[in-house]
Amino acid sequence: MGRNILKSSVQNASFSIIFQILFRCITFILNAFIIRTVGQEVLGIMNVRLLLLESTILFLSKEPILKACLTDTKSHNWAQVINQIWLSVPISGILGLVLVYVWINLLVPTEEIYLSQYRLGCYAVALSCIVEQMTQCVELVAQSFCFVRLKVVIETMYIISRTIIFVYLVVKYPNGAINAFAIAQIVSSVILCCLYYGFFSWYIPVLNKTKAEDDKKNNAKKTIFSDMADFPFTSVWDFFPGNMRNNDNVLNKDLCLLTVSFVKQSLVKQVLTEGERYVMTISPVLTFSQQSMYDIVNNLGSLAASRAYFYFTQMVKRDEPLKKQDQKHISEAAEVLSQLCKVVVSIGLVVVVFGQSYSYTLLYLYGGRKLVENNLSVILLRFHSFAIILLAINGVTEGYVFATMNNKQLDRYNYIMVFFSIMFLLISYVFTYILGPVGFILANCINMLARITHSIIFIEGKYKDTNHHPLSGLLPGTRFIIVLTISGVITKLSEVYILNRYIILHIGIGAIFFFLTISTWALENATLLRTGYDKYKRRASLKND
């Protein structure tokens, strides 16, 4: 591929983090708007029940095929890949029919007042999933050829359009919030599809014209299209199955086998990722209002790490020992993994420490006294801050594991994941009956610890015969830990003695110690920051030239 894999992967990771922050901010504001406008029960139906339906359909129909097709994209027969990625459309349709029947007829029913809206919501979610899957081939091409900004811009427009449509309809028809959710889902998915195909309908003819002109003139001057000489698509119709010239089989056997491995893995991973929502949905352990409270805290507290899965799949081959691979690539991948671990651990520790002293403040400012009067939401957010660091570490380490395991290792890990998922569901169910919503968070922490342990063992084994130590990034610096500990003690004292009388002063104290903590981390990691800054300057100077 013509574009730099590391640069594009770092850009993708950076933009993904920014995008997730934007998404979390929008969700943050939307949840407050819904609580104040239509109440917590409607929020529980939409954010837990209906979004779980969407997550289940999309994840099981998209994730296995997409992961397989992202592996070693430089060697792809793109005609076979396009044929394979389009299989996600009929799969999502079949899954949608089955799951909508389950969601409407077999799960714990909603109140009669919401029943007709809930049914429409289920059908709308299934239809929007099918439309979204029709964009998978273009999204795959965009990711494989490093159209980083395109992906971020389009997905941002998708989220914003869905939000605007939903808010407008809820303001106009406050008693039809679930109907508004359903309409927003369908319209925004159509917008997403049109934006992707619209861009490539413009881009491919311009690229073809530029290539032809460059060939005639033998032009050495660089343009935005210069790195795309190996772009295999000559028409937007090539994104549809059966249109590209293909002298081989319709599907690639190796990719199909890899997809089957990822299917088994994805079934288990979906249970592990959304296990608490499945427990809430299948069993009446919590009311819709309690489910919405859990979801509010989950959205306030969780910002998953970008996994850089694509980067590791391109740099490390699945079926060869590290010693037989390009050592420059292996060294670079080890360094990137180490630095990612260092960053997510540091962020996670800051969230844990300041989360203990500022959970009440954040929730009070967010939802008013009503949201914190029974103290449940405050306890949930404090516990969830511990889950965040584990989620972040697992995101990075498991991303590397999934990107570098061969088929046999993936199949073996599937059995381990089955054990993890069964234990997770059992622990979630038991803990929830004993501890309420906090039980979900504790069960998730245990689940993450088990998966992190497995990933650490795998990575240590992978690098045992090399001089690289990528997991050293999991150990933060001594000065950073000392300053973080002092900050935690003082901000906790501030919460106990100052918060009730002077909330602004309490926030000010937190801001000061947050700045001291970040400054200490920056001093300890000056080399990393300087390297990043130098690369940014070089990139800026190249653009100016």
Q: How far apart are CA 315 and CA 74, in angstroms?
A: 11
Backbone angles phi, psi at 224, to 5 degrees: -65, -10
Residue 302 is predicted with a pLDDT of 45
In a domain, 501, yes or no: yes
Q: With contact defined as beta carbons under 8 Å apart, do 49 and 277 qualify? A: no
Q: How many CA atoms lie within 13 A of 210 on its CB side?
A: 17
Query: Mind giving me the DSSP string for 164-222?
Result: HHHHHHHHH-GGGHHHHHHHHHHHHHHHHHHHHHHHHHHHHHHHHHHHHHHHHHT----
Per-residue tokens: 402: 């999934």
Q: Which residue has the tokens 């959205």?
A: 299
- 265-283, pLDDT tens digit by residue? 777 777 766 776 777 777 6
If pLDDT is split at 50, 70 and 90, which confidence band does 484 have?
very high
CB atoms within 10 A of CB 101: 11
- Please provide residue 86's backbone torsions phi and psi, each rounded to the nearest 5 degrees: -75, -15
Nearest-angstrom CA–CA distance, 111 and 490: 47
337 inside domain: no
- One DSSP character per residue, 110-149 reads PPHHHHHHHHHHHHHHHHHHHHHHTTHHHHHHHHHTT-HH
Q: What's the confidence (pLDDT) of residue 227?
A: 54
Residue 248: count other Cβ atoms within 10 Å of its Cβ. Answer: 10
Q: Is the pLDDT of residue 142 over 70?
A: yes
pLDDT at 130: 95
Task: Tell the burial category of 326 from Cβ atoms under 10 Å away from its Cβ (0-12, 13-18, 19+).
Answer: middle
- Would 406 be classed as within a structural domain? no
- Among positive and negative, which fits the CA dihedral 430, 435, 438, 442? negative
- Is there a domain that residue 92 lies in? yes
Q: What is the pLDDT of residues 48-88, one digit of tens each?
A: 889 899 989 988 888 888 877 776 556 667 888 888 889 88
Place of tokens 């509010």: 296
Predicted local distance difference test score (pLDDT) of residue 303: 41
57-71, 109-123, 182-196, 478-492: least confidently modelled range: 57-71
- What is the domain range of residue 515? 478-545
d(CA 156, CA 161): 8
Q: Is the dihedral of CA 500, 502, 503, 505 positive or negative?
A: negative
306: three-class secondary structure by DSSP: coil
Query: Is 402 a domain residue?
Result: no
Helices and strands per DSSP (H, E), number in the chain: 20, 0
- The answer to whether the CB of 304 falls within 8 A of the CB of 273 is no
Residue 193 lies in a domain: yes
Out of 210, 226, 251, a domain closes at 251
Domain boundary among 193, 228, 251: 251
State yes or no: pLDDT of 306 exceeds 70.
Answer: no
The last residue of one of the domains, among 251, 278, 298, is 251
- Tokens linked to 145: 């050829």
Residue range 257-270: mean pLDDT, rounded: 77
**Is residue 470 domain-resident?**
no
Q: How many whole angstroms separate alpha carbon 332 and alpha carbon 410?
A: 24
Answer yes or no: is pLDDT of 304 > 70. no
Quote the CA–CA distance of 29 and 25 in Å, as a whole number: 6
Percent helix, strand and coil across the chain, each to the nearest 5:
80, 0, 20
- Supply the pLDDT for residue 531: 72
> Is the Cβ–Cβ distance between 334 and 470 less than 8 Å?
yes
The number of domains in the chain is 2
Q: Is residue 37 part of a domain?
A: yes
Which single residue is written with the structure tokens 């400012």? 365
